[in-house]
Amino acid sequence: NYVLTQPHSVSGFPGETVTISCTRSSGSITGNYVQWYRQRPGSPPTSVIYEDDRRPSGVPDRFSASIDSSSNSASLTISGLKTEDEADYYCQSDDSTNLWVFGGGTKLTVL
Amino acid sequence: EVQLVQSGAEVKKPGESLKISCKGFGYSFSTYWMAWVRQVPGKGLEWMGIIYPGDSDTRYSPSLQGQVTISVDKSISTAYLQWSSLRASDTAIYYCARPRGDGSGSMSFYFDYWGQGTLVTVSS
């Protein structure tokens, strides 16, 4: 079993670039795909990144993601920040026991 | 268009039983796994369990095993999550979510569709 750790909050001004990290506590971050979900208040999560760095249809290319094996972490980067990006963001990967493992979530505030 | 439509909000007392549902539209329900995910208000997401409607193969999160039962009625494309005796700590929003697959029963660990959520409130 492992834990995915995210910062509680990040913020940025419109037009800026923000990055949200997701650090895996044990085992290699490259061993299992990482997904990222956005959840606006009162709505279910929706995917913004799957399989480490792939964007679902309809997600703008302002959203990108990467994997860094040296820090054993994944990162979600949102460029050209818009007010509509304000939401909670969750990383997610998988595990042989718990199957789905979610990070604790990061609240993105657009200032 | 794929849709997962969940049953409405519920208010229950501790000790009562409950069964909530998730109906799939727009795809071959029997050949895609279906999961349940819990979210305590103001908190994060927690995977609860998963079921394959084709043969009712079910897996549970080790932390929740025995506390809930996941079932399915593939004849009406509906998955269920049920409790025999609710506790106040079961108060949460419950989402059904479909792992992406290819319709053959294979599954990835990526949820490509989510239901709208069912709020369950347990209070005396």
Res B37: pLDDT: 98
pLDDT per position as a tens digit, B65-74: 789 999 999 9
| Candidate from A7-16, A18-27, B64-73, B90-99 with smallest mean pLDDT | B64-73
Q: How many residues does chain A have?
A: 111
Cβ atoms A36, A53 nearer than 8 A: no
Q: For chain B, give the mean pLDDT.
A: 95
pLDDT of residue B123: 97
Estimate to the nearest angstrom the gap between the alpha carbon of B48 and the chain centroid.
8
- In the DSSP assignment, the letter for residue A55 is P
In the predicted model, what is the mean pLDDT of chain A? Answer: 96
Nearest CA distance, B61 vs chain A (angstrom): 6
Exposure class string for A27-59: b at 16+ Cβ within 10 A, else e: eebeebbbbbbbbeeeebbbbbbbebbebeeeb
| Dihedral sign computed on CA atoms, order B43, A16, A85, A60 | negative
Q: Chain A to chain B, count of Cβ pairs less than 8 Å apart? A: 57
A44–B109 C-beta distance less than 8 A: no
Is A13 a residue whose pLDDT tops 80? yes
Report the pLDDT value the prediction gives residue B108, as an integer from 0 to 100: 86
pLDDT digits (tens, 9 = 90+) for B5-52: 999 999 999 999 999 999 999 999 999 999 999 999 999 999 999 999
**Residue B64 banded pLDDT, cuts 50, 70, 90:** confident
Residues of B near A (Cβ–Cβ under 8 Å) read: 35, 37, 44-47, 50, 59, 61-62, 95, 100, 108-112, 114-117
Task: Tell me: pLDDT of A98 over 90.
Answer: no
Q: Which of A25, A108, A13, A12 is nearest to A74 (CA)?
A: A25
Asked if residue A83 has pLDDT above 80, the reply is yes
